[in-house]
Every structure is written in structure tokens, then in C-alpha cells.
Amino acid sequence: MPVEKRDLAHYPFLPEAQGVLASRGIKVSGLSGSKIGCSYLDRAAERVITALDGKTIYPESEDDVVSDIITYVLARVLASASKDKRTMDRLCKMEAHRVVFYLNSEENVLLKKRVYEELEVMTGDGSLPVIRYVELASRVRDAKWRLINREVGNGRVSVSSGEMDILVEERIRTILSSGLPLGIPDSMAREYLPWSDKILAAMQERTLAEFGAIDESAYPPCIQALISAASAGVNLTHSGRFSMTAFLRSVGMNNEQIAGIFARSPDYNPDMTNYQVDHILTNEYTTPSCATMLTHGICVNKDRLCESVSHPLTYYRSKKKEFEWEKMRKADEEAMKKAKQASEENPDAGSPGP
């Protein structure tokens, strides 16, 4: 069926979208040499930064459909050029939510069917085949999605309309993520460096705003134990490597800094370490909860603060606040001590004159 240009702005992953760009002679390289090309890059960077801000819908332009399509493509290029896994994840999450938003309001039944076919998602009638359900729900971490907790009959799993939206969104996010990072030629990466640097700066700013400067002394006991074990050359389990790597990435460490933790080991293998770190960051998404850490035998050396939190990142935030309050308290005490000392050394300094 023919697809309108505005529809392609809603579903820019459809093959016809690439045809629109090709018919206009628009290529993803060399755009920085023209005013219109720079405007496309500016909007693409804004599209990625919108995703970094946690927004779920990137607003479309009212009259420039081609711009909406090219900025989708360029956003994926710039996210890939940034080489930042979280940036790519957040972009894919926003784009997936955007597609589901348009699908839910789509009145063209044939177009909707076409999009679902392109995504290889057959939603069925309130249920999904078990195999398809497991495939779609495998990365949704809430316990309610586990097959053992679902209503299953005649080889199908019952799914509400709201749940179906979540599964379709996860399917779209997985498809979009599987294509990233794109293979960016060095020449293109250099050309688009101002825009990819802008995105990285935005990512760093938001990480710092959320967690502040990295402070190893505020790491929860479980993470400190994993770091100590890695430094001592212990071969951590997958859950241990994943938990430590995901946590360090969440608090703002980059790939090289995380690999540096493993480099403390006496039998450090840089190639293997880089492969493992990249694999974890590419395929996993968030730091496990304390309950999950306990299940995998990683919850160790619990202290007072551990009893009041349910996630390692919550521990980290709380510990940093404790340190900040303690620093302020000591600064106040030091100021009072100096004031008292000055008063004792010159008792008449504060007295009025005759």
C-alpha cells in the first residue's frame, strides 16, 4: 500500500522513508557544508537530547516532513558517533514510545497492519502465542511478566491492551537498538564531532545533575566488594561483572574508566576486558536491585544504610548526601571555632566605643 509522507514521519523506519531521502538527493554525509544541512544536524542533536531528558515524544514539525525523517536518521548517526550506550538506549526508548503513540491513534487500519508486519509483531486478540510472548517479554524485568505468573491456555498467553502496548514498545526498542551503533566512517565522525560532542556534554551534565561527581567512598558495600575482588584478580561471575559494570556506568564512568577497574587485576587482559565491558553495556540496561543482588549472592557486608534502601543507586545517592551534610556540619563547626578563637584573642573587638 502507498504510504503518505506524513505517515513516514511517524514511522521513519519504514523502507519508503529512505526512498524519500534518496529522491531528494539527501545523504547523511557532507551535510555540515550547507546551511540547511547544519539545521538538520542541529535538530537531530535536539532529538537525541530530548531523549536524554527522559521525554517520550519528540515533537514533529508542522510543515517539513522531510526534516522529521532526516533528523530521525541523523539522530541515530549522532548517537552512534557519541559511542555512548546510554545515549543510544534512551534514543531508542523514546523513538519506540513515539511509534506506539502514533499506532494507538492511527485510524488507517491498513497502514497500522503494515507497520506491525514491518515490525514482525502480530498482536492477536488479547493473547499471544507462548513463544512470541516469551520473546517479547524477556527483557521486561517486572516479575509479573514471567510466564509462571501469566494466564496460559491453548498455547497462548492472555495480554491486556495496556500490556500489549508495553510489549510492542519493547519489540520496537529492541529492533531499533539492534541496529546501533551504526558503522560510522572516521571522516563522518570527524565532520559531525561538534554535534556528537554536544550530545555527550548533555549526557554528562544530566549524569552529574543526577549523581554529582563520582565518589568511590559512597559506593555500596556490594560494589566495593566487587571492585576489591576484581582488583585482586578474582574471576567474577557474569552477574558480578554485570552488576559492577552497570553501576559504574550509571554513576558516570565511561568505558575506559570501567576497564581501568579491571586493569587493577594482576592478570589483566585488555582485549578480553574491553570485550566483556562492551558486551555488558551493549546488552544490559540498569543496575540490579538489592533483591536481585541478594538472589545472586552479591549482597555482602550490609551496613546500616543498606537496611533502608532497595537499590544500590539509592544507597549511592543517600551516602553522598550524608557526606555532604557531614562536610557542611564540619565547616560550620570550624567557622564557629574560628569566631570563638578570634573573640577570645580580642575580647573588645565587638564592644561599642566610648
pLDDT over 90 (residue 212): no
| Residue of higher predicted confidence among 322 and 231 | 322
Q: Are 12 and 72 in contact (CB under 8 A)?
A: yes
Q: Who's near 179: CB < 8 A, 6+ residues apart?
A: 76
Residue of 81, 115, 255, 88 whose CA lies nearest to 179: 88
DSSP-derived secondary structure for 239-251: HHHHHHHHHHHHT
> In whole angstroms, what is the distance from residue 312 CA to residue 221 CA?
9
Q: Does residue 350 have a pLDDT over 60?
A: no
- pLDDT grade for 250, boundaries at 50, 70 and 90: confident
Question: Model confidence at 194, in pLDDT bands (50, 70, 90)?
Answer: very high
pLDDT tens digits, one per residue of 88-133: 989 999 999 999 999 999 999 999 999 988 888 766 678 888 988 8
Contact (Cβ atoms closer than 8 angstroms) between residue 230 and residue 262: yes
**What average pLDDT score do residues 137-153 get?**
85
Q: Mention every residue, 6+ apart, whose C-beta is less than 8 A from residue 222.
A: 243, 293, 298, 299, 300, 301, 312
Does residue 182 sit in helix, strand or coil? Answer: coil
Residue 168 buriedness (CB in 10 A; 0-12 / 13-18 / 19+):
buried
Q: List, in order, residues 6 or more apart from 309 with CB less than 8 Å away.
A: 290, 315, 318
What is residue 354's predicted lDDT score, i.e. its pLDDT? Answer: 45
Residue-wise pLDDT for 263-317, tens only, equals 766 667 777 777 777 777 665 557 899 999 999 889 999 999 999 999 999 999 9
222 exposure class (CB count in 10 Å sphere: 0-12, 13-18, 19+): buried
Higher-pLDDT residue of 134, 338: 134
Per-residue pLDDT tens over the stretch 176-191: 998 999 999 999 999 9
Q: Domain residues of the chain, as ranges?
A: 5-191, 212-343
- The terminus-to-terminus CA distance of the chain in angstroms comes to 98
- Specify burial of residue 47 (Cβ count, 10 A radius: 0-12, 13-18, 19+): buried
**Is residue 340 within 8 Å of residue 333, measured between CB atoms?**
no
Distance, CA of 307 to CA of 292 (rounded, Å): 15
CA-CA-CA-CA dihedral for 268, 269, 271, 274, to nearest 10:
-30
Q: What is the pLDDT of residue 176?
A: 92
Is pTM beyond 0.75? Reply is no
pLDDT at 58 over 50: yes
